[in-house]
Amino acid sequence: MSALHPDLSPDYEKISTLYTSKLWHQVTVSILEFVSNPSKTLRCTAEGGNSYLALFHQIILPIDKKLNPLSLARIASAVANSLLVVPAVPGSSTGGDGVAARAVLENLLEKKAELGPAATLYTESKLALLKLTLTEQDTMDQVKDMIKAGSKILDSELEGSADTIVHSAFYEASMTYRKMAGPPEAFYQQAMLYLNYTPLDQMSADDKYHLATGISLAALTGDGVFNFGEILEHPILACLNDTDNKWLLELMHVFGDGNVNEFRSVTTKYDAQIRSQPALVSRADLVQEKITLIALVNMIFERPSAERTLHFTDIAERISVSLEQVEWVIMRALSLGLIKGAMDQVDGTVTVTWVVPRVLNQAQLKALANRFGEWAVNVSKTKDYMGDRIPSLA
């Protein structure tokens, strides 16, 4: 291998020295770092066959019982991915071969008893992702079954104990499946879980851009997705700045603010871009309904709890609908569990007793902090008032 890749001789020499010294942990760490380096992967698969595969079969597998199972699974995944980096090398049966890539992970899964649940789930997740990438026949049903079984494992055997990279691998596979199979709200949920367990610095710029685009479209078009604060506070959306999809970031902020007038302005300004997105075009009515409902929720949230009896005329003006439509909007919000309360159709008012919890942005948090301060002052005044009027028992 050193002769085939002279520029990587120091890496091979280091691995050889550690192997000869039987320093298995250090060997594992060195090989994992080696096969996880994208630039080295390109060099090791560019000519003369895939040297990663040879390293895996001749060095790793003979000592697999001495290695950490999860590290072994991560090495196997990196080797499998390296087999897809370049087209098949003439005269080689492995380079760029999806069948060989699958074989690496499938052969490892034959040792489930030795791997344990965490390494097994990690390997199964990477295999599912590989199958989705290759879009093989019957892939969707197989991946669906894996995700269902994997979710149970996370909730039972690995609850609170699995490494975050296991969760990341599982939710990446689940997210990719949902992106292909739908619905958008399921993709949004799995994508948010994936982001919770995956540092952004571990993703490529292209991956971050495509994920930010996909998760934004899913938030806008997904049924039941009304909490935009969760994704708006995540730094991944910054990847849309200075790109062709910057308009999508503007639209997301409009939804977070629940500003109907600004929504109309943005959709008019970026009409061509919006029409180029089939998801937004096919669910245009749902998107319009969503901004209206979010505007209503934001209007209620901004009011003190003691002043949450709203007149239909005020609501109609805030959410930009006719007075006749206000009752329908309120009933829709009640049915979706966004608010709780009661309507008085005679007086044309609605009294709201509860608003759905949401992730708040900085401006909303400051407003809430001010409201807590006002509440504390009122409590203090009430205490003093009661103290002045209740006779002492002494």
Q: Evaluate if residue 49 carries a pLDDT over 70.
A: no
Looking at residue 244, its amino acid is D
Assigned token pair, 193: 């879980």
Amino acid 136: pLDDT: 65
Task: Convert 175-195 to b/e letters by CB count within 10 Å (16 or more is b).
Answer: bbbbbeeeebbbbbbbbbbbb
Give the H or E element holding residue 368: helix 362-389
Which of residues 251 and 37 earns the better pLDDT score? 251
Would you say the C-alpha torsion 210, 216, 217, 223 has a positive or negative sign? positive
Amino acid 47: pLDDT: 58
Give the H or E element holding residue 73: helix 69-82
Burial environment of residue 84 by CB neighbours within 10 A (0 to 12, 13 to 18, 19 or more):
middle
Distance from C-alpha of 188 to C-alpha of 323, rounded to nearest angstrom: 34
Distance from C-alpha of 374 to C-alpha of 377, rounded to nearest angstrom: 5
What pLDDT digit, counting tens, does each position of 112-127 carry?
A: 888 999 999 999 999 9
- The chain-wide mean pLDDT, for the chain, equals 89
Mean pLDDT across the stretch 38-43? 78
Q: Evaluate if residue 210 carries a pLDDT over 70.
A: yes
Q: Which of 151-165, 205-219, 274-288 is the least confident region?
A: 151-165
Distance from C-alpha of 75 to C-alpha of 123, rounded to nearest angstrom: 10
Amino acid 96: pLDDT: 56
Amino acid 66: pLDDT: 92
Burial environment of residue 325 by CB neighbours within 10 A (0 to 12, 13 to 18, 19 or more):
middle
Assigned token pair, 245: 């999809």
Q: Which of 1-5, 66-70, 108-112 is the least confident region?
A: 1-5
What pLDDT digit, counting tens, does each position of 67-100 carry?
A: 999 999 999 999 999 888 754 444 444 445 788 8
Amino acid 88: pLDDT: 42
Distance from C-alpha of 111 to C-alpha of 311, rounded to nearest angstrom: 66
pLDDT-derived band at 328, boundaries 50, 70, 90? very high
Amino acid 188: pLDDT: 97
The helix-helix angle for 164-181 and 139-155 (nearest 10°) equals 140
Distance from C-alpha of 7 to C-alpha of 294, rounded to nearest angstrom: 58
Mean pLDDT across the stretch 258-268? 95
Which of residues 312 and 384 earns the better pLDDT score? 312
Distance from C-alpha of 211 to C-alpha of 222, rounded to nearest angstrom: 15
CA angle 199, 201, 204 (to 5 degrees): 115
Q: Which of 160-174, 323-337, 376-390 is the least confident region?
A: 376-390
Distances (CA, A) of 341 to 192, 234, 308, 356: 31, 32, 10, 12
Q: Which CATH number fits domain 302-389: 1.10.3720.10, 1.10.260.40, 3.40.50.2000, 1.10.10.10?
A: 1.10.10.10
Q: Domain segments of the chain: what residues? A: 1-33+52-85, 302-389
Q: Would you say 75 and 60 are in contact if contact means Cβ atoms under 8 Å apart?
A: yes
pLDDT-derived band at 48, boundaries 50, 70, 90? low
Assigned token pair, 266: 């943005």
Amino acid 45: pLDDT: 67
Amino acid 240: pLDDT: 95
Mean pLDDT across the stretch 245-256? 95
Amino acid 228: pLDDT: 92
Mean pLDDT across the stretch 207-232? 95
